[in-house]
Chain A
Amino acid sequence: DGGITQSPKYLFRKEGQNVTLSCEQNLNHDAMYWYRQDPGQGLRLIYYSQIVNDFQKGDIAEGYSVSREKKESFPLTVTSAQKNPTAFYLCASSPKKAGAFTGELFFGEGSRLTVL
């Protein structure tokens, strides 16, 4: 089945540790996104990438890093510099239509990170 696969689904981390969340898509979409979801705050954009080897900061990029070495993969690293990392993280991808990005997002099931 085509879709977005995020792993792990649940992750526990001690303070001071970095952790990497995986996101893989087989939809052949060019753009990929990482959002953070917190209760009452909606989805806030962390990073996004339109093309391999290129990515842009979103609204809350501090304490996070990403890479886009392959079209299918867009891993997110939550570093120890992120002050409040406990959250639900969502990865999404988006296709082009007539050469332009539409903004229509296809989401994975999410990864819930808890910092102990």
Chain B
Amino acid sequence: AQSVSQHNHHVILSEAASLELGCNYSYGGTVNLFWYVQYPGQHLQLLLKYFSGDPLVKGIKGFEAEFIKSKFSFNLRKPSVQWSDTAEYFCAVIPGGYQKVTFGTGTKLQVIP
């Protein structure tokens, strides 16, 4: 069965620090990859997605993620975080040709002003 691992459960950063959140998945074939964000009191929304093509994808609010097929990874990055980035971040995977979307356990990011 496919699985998604997010290694960092809780990250605390100061404003302007750089961010990298890890995501690894277990499926060996073609995949679509996603990062979702859940701000406090708000519903889950898409941050960025990878379907094919350039493995470096850019999303909203200055976030980007890099798909490294050989490492089965899709890490999320942001050069300089802001207090408003405080949220929970979820990585998700769907294998090509399937309909089941699997999520990681999430990473809570706390940014200190």
Q: A residues bordering B, Cβ < 8 Å?
A: 31, 33, 35, 40-45, 48, 50, 56, 58-59, 90, 92, 94, 100-105, 107-110
A104 touches B45 (CB 8 A): no
- Provide the residues of chain A in CB contact with B34, threshold 8 Å: 103-105
Closest Cβ of chain A to B57, distance in Å, is 13
Determine if B103 is an interface residue (Cβ-Cβ < 8 Å). yes
Chain A interface helix/strand/loop/mixed: strand
- Provide the residues of chain A in CB contact with B105, threshold 8 Å: 40-42
CA distance A43 to B4 in the complex (A): 11
Q: B residues bordering A, Cβ < 8 Å?
A: 1, 6, 9, 32, 34, 36, 43-46, 49, 51, 90, 92-94, 97-106
CA distance A92 to B32 in the complex (A): 17
Closest Cβ of chain A to B51, distance in Å, is 7
CA distance A111 to B101 in the complex (A): 20
- Provide the residues of chain A in CB contact with B101, threshold 8 Å: 33, 45, 94, 103, 105
Closest Cβ of chain B to A37, distance in Å, is 9
- Provide the residues of chain B in CB contact with A107, threshold 8 Å: 36, 43-45
